[in-house]
Structures are given as C-alpha cells and as structure tokens.
Structure 1
C-alpha cells in the first residue's frame, strides 16, 4: 500500500490527522503523543486548526495540529518516530517531495539514509523524552484533593459538586471513576494505584473546566 499518497500534495505542511493515517494509529493517540512531546520541550507547539473529514459518508469537524516549515518537518519526524519508527523514512520521503521534486529520494534505501541523522538525534533525545513523559504524568495530573486545595475547598465538598455535574460514574463501588465523556474530553484520566485500584486524576484541562463550572455556579 502506498501510504505516502495519504498526504496533501498541495501544501508544504502535514496534519496530525494525516500522520495518524500514515502510521495507522488513532488520531487521539497521535495528538496525545504530540502534546507529551510539547510538554517535555522536545518539539515546538504547532498551530491548531479545525478541518473537515468524511468518515462512513458523514462529515466531521476535527481539531488537528498543523506541522509546517523546517521546524514542522523535524517535529513531525520526531512524532512519527515515537509512534512507529518504521514509518520514519516514508515521512522523510514525503517531506522531500513537498519541498523539492528534484530532490525526492528514488528508493526506500535512500529515504532511510536521509532519516539517519534524525534517527541519531532521536536516540539522544529518547532518555530525555522518557524522563519528561514520566515527570509530566506525575506533575500535570491531580487528584480531587489537590484540585480542591487550590480553591480552599475540601475534596469531599468538591466531589459532591462534581457528582451533580455528572462527572463521576457510580458503576464502581470502591473509589470514584470518571464517566467516559469526561475522559473523552481530555478532562481526566484513570490511573492504577499500587493496590490495583482505579484513581480518578484531573488533567490541567480538567482542572480549568472544574474552576469554570464552579465560577459559573457562583461557588468560588
């Protein structure tokens, strides 16, 4: 299958949606990888745009990251290398096609050679990426107690309010877990504790959502 043809031939840019199609990964997983690399300082924050795409004859609007220019090229290669290293050469080949038809590699081997320098750079970055991924996971996720402390409220009171906002599911008797819509919006994640239980953790985006809801209700 010619995966390269999935990219837009009319502009020198790529979107996170196109990358997800290239590496056969879910778009939300690609975006999460992009955001982790941004947070760890490995890549620059790309532009965000809404694009329309057709799935099963239905039109959807999707928020995508736009990679453009030299920085975008290097950053998109970094993203693909994290997601699926074997497709890095195909991505390099596509960038060369976008930038200059005369310089387009004529074989997969040539594309691999062009990717060699970037691969070396990624090897050097890998320990840093792994470290910052773990650090970001610890520092950007907060439990209800930590969120409540920022507004001088008890976790018990905050959780009661969040129950009325349909945030928590009561399907699990031990502990609190988020409803799927809350997770899908990127507001929270479920992490496993050392004892094997699910723990509801708020993302920075989720913390902001909570504050906005409490403010609109006149509770803070």
Structure 2
C-alpha cells in the first residue's frame, strides 16, 4: 500500500496494475473498463495514458497510468467497506504526492553546487508560500465541521480562485459532483461525490401553511471535500498558468 500513487511526468498518477492488485480485480478487466470509458467519451483520454510493464514471464504487456480524476471515474462503481477504505487511502496518497510535487518542484535533481543552492532557495520560498494552505488543509482534514457551498466559494477566493457561489454550484453540476437534472434532487450530491465523502446532506422538514410538509435537502461540503476542491481548483489554475 506504500506505492499506490507515484510521480510520472510531473503529475501524481496510479496505474491500472496497481488498481487491479489493490482492489482484487483482474488486470485485463480493469483495462477493459478503461478502454470502454475512453471509447465512449474521448474527453476522458487525457486522464489515462497507455504504458507497458514487464510480466513475471518477461513479456511486455499493456497497462494504463491515470491521474486522480481518471482513478475517481474508474473506481466509482467499486462497492463495499473494503473498497471504500482503499478509495480513501488512494485520496490520501494522491494528496500527499501532489503536495510533495508542489512543495519540492517535482523532485528536480541539481547538476552542480550552484543549481543545488538555487534549488534549496526556491524550495524554501515555495514552502513558505504554501504554509498557509498546508495549515488550512491540515486543520480542515481533522475538522468535523461541514460547510455550505457558498462558504466553500469564499475559501476558494481566499486561495486566489475568483469564483462565487452560483458559479461554483454550476461548476459542481457540470463536473458531476451535484445532480443537474431539474427535480427534487437538483443540486444534491451525486453518488460519486457521496462515495468519496465529499458531501453530506442536511435535511430540513418544512411545514407549509396548508399543513403539508416538504423536505429541503442542502448539500454541505465535508472536511475531505473542502481539501479536495481547494486542491483541485489550485491544480487547475496552475495548469492553466503553465499552459
């Protein structure tokens, strides 16, 4: 369980081989699931990259590398307590690897003393800049306080992401975290979001003047969800800047 997530091309990834081993699946079935997903939706292809590995029989066989989003989509259907425990361990591993990459510049290797000194200075500066966010993440992950989506938007603004509550709701719907179909479940968490413990639902019973009652469902972002979305928006922003 120590190498669930590794760094490849300056990105935190896991492999289809590791997923199969961890979740007790046949590797060929995991590969089939990935290929079915990418065939149905070409937009998913940037989440999975084809690679190879050497089998025990010294044969070169195909495997896939996947980023956090690819992993999330792949394992969303894996059920059971044991599967949930593994999913949470993967989330922790992705967070740890991504923080390490951000803080230490992707494990750059200096070629001489001058580069080593410059790298050390850059890392010290980056660690100092990241300190408020790191403290925020540590505090939130251990907190039992759930917050409203509007409050999450304020936290994102504090972290340099220009987004308001309405735009955040829209983004959460468009990216599959909240239900977008109009109806009684509109704006409530999807099964994927609930499986990863990103939200909890607060229910309030409303008694109307004519005596009938309705139940109002409000999505609240968990501590895990707060760290997940802040990291995701920061990662997307950094990728846009680098691009």
Relative to the length of structure 1, the TM-score reads: 0.39
Relative to the length of structure 2, the TM-score reads: 0.36
